[in-house]
Amino acid sequence: MGTVERRRWRGASALTLLCATALLAVSAMTGVAQAAPMPEPGAKSLEQVRQEIDELYRQAGTATDAYNLAESEAKAQSAKIVEIAKQVVAGQDRITALKNRAGAAARAQYRSGGMPAGAQLALSNSPSQFLDGADRIRQGEKATTDLLSEMNRTQSDLQQYAKDATAQWEKLEANRIKQETSKKQIEEKIKSAESMESKLQAEEKARLIQLEQEALYKAQTAWLSTGVLKEINSSASESGKKALQYATAQMGRPYVWGAQGPDSFDCSGLTSQAWRAAGKGIPRTSQEQLRLLPKVAIKDMRPGDLIIYFDDASHVGMYVGDGAMIHAPRPGRNVTLAGAGSMPIKAVVRPDA
């Protein structure tokens, strides 16, 4: 067995041992977790409860992505509205300056008596002086024409700015409604999940945590059994190392939906802030990270890459190497290490490709 293979075998074994130790620790904490009361006939099993709670939190994660995306778009639209407002002010100032110039030209013409060119020639003592004056008149007429054209263009720009501002306000309002809808969905899903958990006895809650760990462990073991770690052997980039340093420093901080730190995070808040700390701005949500960042094959992923989970791309974690990833799991949980294959992988993306 080569050096790299031994290191990866040790890493995979360590992660497997970590998962198994977590399961044993949960059992040891209660001592009676395995002896939880039998459910009444017709009642849901604890495993069914776990699956329902897990699904509620996953749906809350999907709604959180929608909320975060709407929030990001609303910020962008607000910035555009501010920029349009600046353009409108500049355009209005320009119109005022053009009107002043037009007024000055009109006053100059008034002082000259507004005499037609033929009359000025008849009254002029010097034909050459008249011709010079006629040339200046033509220049003045052209300047007046240019002035009117510029005023028309500026007026047209102001009308377009008004249309753009209206469109941005409409988008802003649509995103505000989208945010409120998503927020309501998030709160409802989390409240339902917490309500289900609150009805459990202490030993049932402990057993629930154990079932959760068992499900993750089972999925991770199945993923590792494919031999995937034999193919994954890339090293982190310098930016990836910085992103990992930030992410791992947040371990133990709580999950809070919509949070981007510094004291709490949701899943994509953690990954986006980690890469921001590495000097690379990436999309705020897991769905946008999937849509806009370059994809890489699982066998080619390296530490720092982002793993997008579930068909709806509602969760994201950061690969740390040796078959593990770091993520902010869900409400009620903290930023932690987990198996990279402990949830269904949809894709892997690379922020610094």
Cα separation of 185 and 257, whole Å? 12
CB 156, CB 165: distance < 8 Å: no
- pLDDT attached to residue 46: 83
From CA 227, how far away is CA 336, in angstroms rounded?
24
* Active-site option among 183, 253, 327, 330: 327
pLDDT at res. 107: 65
At 246, the pLDDT band (50, 70, 90 cuts) reads very high
Residue 318, pLDDT > 90, answer: yes
pLDDT tops 60 at residue 193: yes
How far is residue 12's CA from residue 224's CA, in Å, rounded to a whole number?
8
CA distance 99 to 106: 10
User: Encoding tokens for residue 216?
Assistant: 């993750």
By mean pLDDT, which of 134-148, 167-181, 335-349 is the weakest? 134-148
| Residue 261: pLDDT band with limits 50, 70, 90 | very high
If one compares 83 and 95, the residue with the highest pLDDT of the two is 83
Task: Kindly report the average pLDDT of the chain as a whole number.
Answer: 79
Query: 1-15, 44-58, 122-136, 252-266: which has the minimum mean pLDDT?
Result: 1-15
Q: What does the pLDDT read at residue 140?
A: 55
Spatial strand order in the sheet of 324-327: 295-296, 345-349, 306-309, 315-321, 324-327, 336-339
List the one residue out of 165, 198, 174, 181 whose CA is nearest residue 86.
165
**Among 14-23, 154-163, 200-209, which is the least confidently predicted range?**
14-23
Q: Is the pLDDT of residue 289 over 90?
A: yes
Res 243 pLDDT > 60: yes
Lowest average pLDDT, out of 28-32, 53-57, 120-124, 145-149, goes to: 28-32
Q: Torsion-angle region of residue 322: left (phi > 0), alpha (psi -120 to 50) or beta?
A: left
- pLDDT given for residue 35 in this prediction: 41
Q: Is the pLDDT of residue 148 over 90?
A: no
In one-letter notation, the amino acid at residue 175 is N
Task: Provide the pLDDT for residue 262.
Answer: 94
**pLDDT-wise least confident of 56-70, 148-162, 277-291:** 148-162
The verdict on whether 327 is a catalytic residue reads: yes
Catalytic residue among 267, 313, 340, 345: 267
The confidence score (pLDDT) of residue 7 equals 43
The catalytic residue among 58, 242, 315, 330 is: 315
pLDDT computed for residue 33 by the predictor: 39
Q: Which of 75, 71, 68 is nearest to 315 (CA)?
A: 68
- Please indicate whether residue 109 or residue 10 has the higher confidence score (pLDDT): 109
Give the pLDDT band (50/70/90) at residue 139.
low
Give residue 250's pLDDT: 97
* Contact indicator for 68, 186 with CB cutoff of 8 Å: no
DSSP state string for 2-57: -HHHHHHHHHHHHHHHHHHHHHHHHHHHHSSGGGPPPPPTTSPPHHHHHHHHHHHH
SS3 315: strand
pLDDT at 30 over 60: no
Cα angle 236-239-245, degrees, rounded to a multiple of 5: 80
Separation between Cα atoms, residue 31 and residue 38, nearest integer Å: 16
The confidence band for 25, taking pLDDT boundaries of 50, 70 and 90, is: very low
Q: What is the pTM of this model?
A: 0.64
Average pLDDT over residues 62-89: 81
Record the tokens describing residue 250, joined without a space: 């947040």
